[in-house]
A and B are shown apart, each in its own frame.
Chain A
Amino acid sequence: MELKASNLSFKYPSSKKYILKDVNLELDNKKIMGLIGDSGSGKSTFCKILSSYITNYEGSVSFNGNPLPQKGFKPVQLIYQHPEKVMNPKWKMNQVLKESWDVSDEDLEEFGIQKSWLNRFPQELSGGELQRFSVLRSLNPNTKFLIADEMTTMLDAITQVQILDSVLKVVKKRKMGFLFVSHDMDLVDTVCDDKIYFKDINDV
């Protein structure tokens, strides 16, 4: 499996300055890749393009040789830093999970989710608890590639270990690809097999 970005460039229509310029990168499911860079170096924009949240870019993204699907379930899923911003505040947590897939009791247990949390609204849970849902939600059986954009930045060290441990188990079991974006050098060294630096205007 490979996720490939070729000559990727992006700028906002109103601006002259490119955020990404001619980025070429190949990712696969053999290595867990870490992505590091200063703020403003275009890491998040890059993640959004790979997961097809941004579509008006120049260049191309291909997944297993084909362009990313325009409709239906996206095989490349993105996990954000702030789980509270990606959940419908008027849905209870079981509805939030069900939107993606039917999660088994074992999965709930693996991710340390208490059954009683399923009947709560997002604002009744803490950031660490919500992030567990957000990660589990993205692990739909059709997900082939996972991108984690500062997934554990807001969490304490213990919750960080717990969530990463669970994710890595699933990623390895299902042979998924995993791109881990973080500014924490120690963490990237611990979690990833290899790492990429994004400098300003993207010399990779």
Chain B
Amino acid sequence: MEKVLDVENVSISFMQYTKGLNQRNLKVINDLTLDISEGEILAVLGSSGSGKSLLAHAIFGILPENANQMGKIKFKGKELSEKDIRELRGKDIVLVPQSVNYLDPLMKISDQAIGHTETDEEKKEKKLKQREIFQQYNLGPEVDEMYPFQLSGGMARRVLVSTALLSNPKLVVADEPTPGLDEKTVKETLNHFKKMKEDAIAVLLITHDIHAALEVADRIGIFYAGYVIEIAENKDFSGDGENLLHPYTKALYNALPANGFELIKGHQPLHGEISKGCPYYNRCEMRFDRCKEERPELIDLGNKKVRCFKYEEEA
């Protein structure tokens, strides 16, 4: 399988004014490494406010101006420059946004799905293609003439997904596609991603919903306080979670209502609150002296990755 997206050691920080003219550099994403191959779904799982949406913004080159980005983002093995991103986004790399709020409320659905066209011929061609894909997603001709407010939650989701697929993308980035939907619509949305996988599209699913991630993803990256602390395979989330590596991932799995609803203390450190050691140091049961002073790297264990000193020898 060819790798479609490679994110290597990406960090994102923001310049902020604290008091008067004093500035501080607030790191929000630290040393993020992940990769996605053709026909693979990788979920990035993190709680709200953990900065995972910024990853999507970085891939599309739409970070705000006071953001600094370091590290490499590669598409099909080639490092992306700002110019490359501009050419690829909306064509080979597309975004499925979070909600219907991303649609233009004053524009008919079909017109905004097609987007800007130069000639009448181009418009006709795109219109045919749009109709064809919309039909696949069970959106009848009447939807073309509707405005966003006339869509139900499930329909809106189908419009966003099918619009993203108009340009035959190689990589789909979905930012929180499931919250606020009822079970039936969630299932339907997740099936769309399964279908993309069959069509050899690579999917990056950014979510806080562990159920949704487990339902469709091949691998799951766990985000903690701006760090990816583990990339685990879907099948590891089973039994008592004994195949999961990082203590946080285990705790997360055992906190699910179906797996014991177990309580652990503490909270995720806020951005800028982490001292020099491991981000999980304060809550970790297995910690030793080294974890306090030194920050572990993401260790590559073949198909899995983990950020913990305990697994250093196995690598």
Contact = CB atoms under 8 A, between A and B. Distances in A.
B104 to A, nearest CB: 24
B19 interface: no
Interface string A142-176: 00000000000111111111100100000000000
Given A128-B267, A153-B179, A190 B257 contact: yes
22 contacts: A38-B182, A112-B266, A127-B47, A127-B48, A128-B49, A128-B268, A154-B208, A155-B47, A156-B46, A156-B47, A157-B252, A157-B253, A158-B255, A160-B255, A161-B261, A161-B262, A162-B265, A184-B257, A186-B257, A189-B257, A190-B257, A190-B261
A162 B267 CA distance: 9
Interface residues of B, number: 31
Chief secondary structure at chain B's binding surface: loop
A157 B258 CA distance: 11
Given A38-B182, A38-B184, A154-B208, A126 B47 contact: yes
B256 interface: yes
Interface string B194-228: 00000000000000101000000000000000000
Nearest to A123: B49
Contacts of A128: 47-49, 267-268
A1 interface: no
Contacts of A191: 257
Interface in B235-280: 251-253, 255-258, 261-268, 270
A39 B258 contact: no
A129 B180 CA distance: 20
B48 A126 contact: yes
Interface string A66-108: 0000000000000000000000000000000000000000000
Contacts of A184: 257
B255 A161 contact: yes
A125 B182 contact: no
A183 interface: yes
Nearest to B267: A112
B255 A126 contact: no
Given A126-B50, A128-B268, 12 more contacts: A39-B185, A125-B270, A126-B48, A127-B49, A128-B47, A154-B179, A155-B48, A156-B47, A158-B252, A183-B182, A186-B257, A186-B258
Interface of B: 46-50, 153, 179-185, 208, 210, 251-253, 255-258, 261-268, 270
Chief secondary structure at chain A's binding surface: helix
B240 to A, nearest CB: 15
B232 to A, nearest CB: 15
Contacts of A204: none
A126 B48 CA distance: 7
B182 A126 contact: no
Nearest to B47: A156
Contacts of B255: 157-158, 160-161
Contacts of A190: 257, 261
Given A126-B49, A156-B252, A39 B180 contact: yes
A128 B46 CA distance: 12
Nearest to A157: B255
Contacts of B261: 161, 190
Contacts of B252: 156-158
A187 interface: yes
A162 B47 contact: no
A9 to B, nearest CB: 23
A127 B252 CA distance: 17
Interface string A177-192: 0000001101101110
A191 B261 CA distance: 10
Nearest to B181: A39
Contacts of B46: 156
Contacts of A160: 255
A125 B270 CA distance: 8
Would you list the 6 A-B pairs with minimal beta carbon distance, nearest first? Answer: A126-B49, A156-B47, A157-B255, A127-B48, A186-B257, A39-B182
Centre residue among A155, A157, A184, A190 by max chain B CB count within 10 A: A157
B18 to A, nearest CB: 12
Centre residue among A40, A125, A126, A156 by max chain B CB count within 10 A: A156
A120 B255 CA distance: 29
B257 A159 contact: no
A88 to B, nearest CB: 19
Nearest to A187: B257
Contacts of A156: 46-47, 208, 210, 252
